[in-house]
Amino acid sequence: MVQRTCIVVIISLILSSFSYLGAAYLNLTLPGQHPFPEQVVHDVHRKVNASIARREMLQTSLRDQSSSTYSSCLTGNPIDDCWKCDPDWPNNRQRLADCAIGFGQYAVGGKGGKYYIVTDSSDDDAVNPKPGTLRYAVIQTEPLWIVFPQNMLIKLSQELIFNSYKTLDGRGANVHIVGGGCITLQYISNVIIHNIHIHHCHVSGTLYNILYSSTYLLVLLLV
């Protein structure tokens, strides 16, 4: 059976979490929309179908073999298949930015920037966050590739407001972000969020600011 990976566009997450507010509170019209959206959707379908077909064919060929190491790295998700079969991926994390498909395929996130390791799961001061916290990382002006050295539960005190050119890379750890107003992406570009669990949010501030005028976003969440 193909391993199931949940790919969620962040707009869907917002609507499902705050559906009682109604669409009137959200401005879902973004500037710079793709001129040929049907082509993008067709390309995504083609790549997903090809990835699933490769997975199924390999499973069939290895059914009677004791070793299926390579098979286990093919998930049926073309984004994960792009990096997961590289045994040295922890030392080449920024290759993830080259694996994007769909409307977020041009998002570079923090590629080319420094690695930032989240060592502190606290979120006590939203105005002057401590170095080592996630909040401190996402407000920096420079590109950053943000990673987590261990499993982590981050309880937000307020909404987490991002600056441009950031990657939240949760691969290799079980990272949950809960509470506060979750994540705000406003008037920014080039953000990648991958393999992060974001849930149990509550309204904080003005909801319609979320994702308004943001471009080149690749958001892959586990919920």
Q: Which residue has the higher pLDDT, 217 or 101?
A: 101
Residue-level pLDDT at 93 = 96
Residue-level pLDDT at 129 = 97
Residue pLDDT, tens place only, 56-92:
666 665 555 544 455 567 777 888 888 888 889 999 9
| CA-derived radius of gyration, the chain | 18
Domain boundaries, the chain: 36-62+70-85, 95-221
The phi, psi pair for 208, rounded to 5°, reads -70, -10
The CATH number of the domain covering residues in 95-221: 2.160.20.10
Residue-level pLDDT at 76 = 76
Three-state SS for 174-223 is CEEEEECCCEECCCCEEEEEEEEEEECCCCCCCHHHCCCCCEEEEEEECC
Residue-level pLDDT at 217 = 53
Longest dimension (CA), the chain: 58
Residue-level pLDDT at 26 = 35
What CA–CA distance (Å, rounded) separates 222 from 99? Answer: 17
Residue-level pLDDT at 102 = 83
160 to 94, 97, 134, 192: CA distances (angstroms)? 23, 22, 9, 14
- Selection from 45, 44, 71, 15 nearest residue 223 by Cα: 15
Would the pLDDT of 221 be above 60?
A: no
Residue-level pLDDT at 100 = 84
Q: Which residue has the higher pLDDT, 222 or 74?
A: 74
Reported confidence tier of residue 6, pLDDT bands at 50, 70, 90: very low
Type of residue numbered 5 = T
- 62 secondary structure, DSSP code: T
Would the pLDDT of 212 be above 50?
A: no
What CA–CA distance (Å, rounded) separates 215 from 38? Answer: 18
Residue-level pLDDT at 108 = 93
Residue pLDDT, tens place only, 32-44:
566 777 887 787 7
Q: What angle do CA 143, 151, 86 make, to 5 degrees?
A: 65
Residue pLDDT, tens place only, 134-189:
999 999 999 999 999 999 999 999 999 999 999 999 999 999 999 888 888 888 99
Q: What angle do CA 104, 92, 162 make, to 5 degrees?
A: 45
117 to 87, 105, 108, 141, 214: CA distances (angstroms)? 21, 25, 19, 16, 25
In Å, how far from its chain's centre is CA 122?
Answer: 21
Q: Which run of H or E residues covers position 171?
A: none
- Selection from 112, 107, 89 nearest residue 97 by Cα: 107
Q: Which residues, other chains included, contact 4 with Cβ-Cβ below 8 Å and sequence gap of 6+? A: none
Residue pLDDT, tens place only, 91-149:
999 999 998 888 878 889 999 999 999 999 999 999 999 999 999 999 999 999 999 99
